Amino acid sequence: MSQSASHSPSSPVRIAAVQTVSGPDVAENLRVAGELIAEAAVAGAKLVALPEYFPLITADETVKVAIREPEGKGPLQDFLSDTARRHGIWLVGGTIPMVATDGAKVRNSTLVFDPRGERAARYDKIHLFGFQKGVERYDEAATIEAGREVVTFDGPCGRVGLSVCYDLRFPELFRAMGPVNLIILPAAFTYTTGRDHWEVLLRARAIENQCYVMAPAQGGRHPSGRVTWGHTLIADPWGQVLACRDEGPGVVLADLEPDRIASVRESLPALRHRCLGTD
């Protein structure tokens, strides 16, 4: 589902992924995010993306239900809109909790705002994480209502596909986007799974879709005791990692080069060679 008119850039576009280690204080999390967005904008980024759960990570998963926002209204959406407009950038708001059909749950939503501060796209996380290993346990379905729609939008670097964290493990989602120049995947990957799977899966998505992949992540030990893998990175269409930050708050920058996408797709036309699932 495209949510804006299509265009294709002809020159490189600087993109930025923000890494945070969010805690229970929403105001403090927004302050840190705001500073890092400003740093990215000063460095020339035209599109900046925040990680999953950038406004809040707590030990109590029900707290996010209390701060959920209705469509088009609330302090988290105001922050994203105002910040995008202030810096004149495209801002991808990691994820924030939005009102769900089920009154006891939230939608885990990525919101995109254009340089005028107007919302350009919304993606609700489709695949909900479940994991159990020893005392480490996660069950997102307990508090999150899954989305259903595949979402792309057209920004300064052409067509962009939206996804979140656990979506990374489901390549059919990315195929359903159609050809894109960039996949954005905000995440809060666990240390346990991230150590072995994060980079290899991100590079695989870049290689098989012959596009850039930008994955802004939570990275470090949170006040709740949770440890996220971090390693916020940007990979190119050949699967090469252009930039990466292991842990701690910071900004990862790279230039998305349309000529690089075209060159890879011309020399290895795998997208044209697909035989299955092309109807």
- Which CATH number fits the domain that encloses residue 136? 3.60.110.10
Catalytic residues: 52, 125, 165
Q: The tokens 């894109």 sit on which residue?
A: 180
Contact 22, 57 (CB under 8 A): yes
Domain annotation covers residue 274:
no
User: Is residue 149 domain-resident?
Assistant: yes
44 inside domain: yes
Query: pLDDT of 77-130, one tens digit each?
Result: 999 999 999 999 999 999 999 999 999 999 999 999 999 999 999 999 999 987
pLDDT in tens, 56-75: 999 998 899 999 999 999 99
pLDDT at 22: 98
The domain in which residue 109 lies consists of 13-267
* Structural domains in the chain (count): 1
Question: Does residue 171 form part of some domain?
Answer: yes
Query: Does residue 273 fall inside a structural domain?
Result: no
Residue 206 within a domain:
yes
Asked if residue 278 is part of any domain, the answer here is no
Predicted pLDDT of residue 5:
46
Each residue of 8-61: pLDDT tens digit?
A: 788 999 999 999 999 999 999 999 999 999 999 999 999 999 999 999 999 998
| Mean pLDDT over each residue of the chain, to the nearest integer | 94
277 in a domain, yes or no?
A: no
Instruction: List, in sequence order, the alpha helices (H) in the chain.
Output: 26-42, 63-66, 75-87, 171-176, 191-209, 258-267
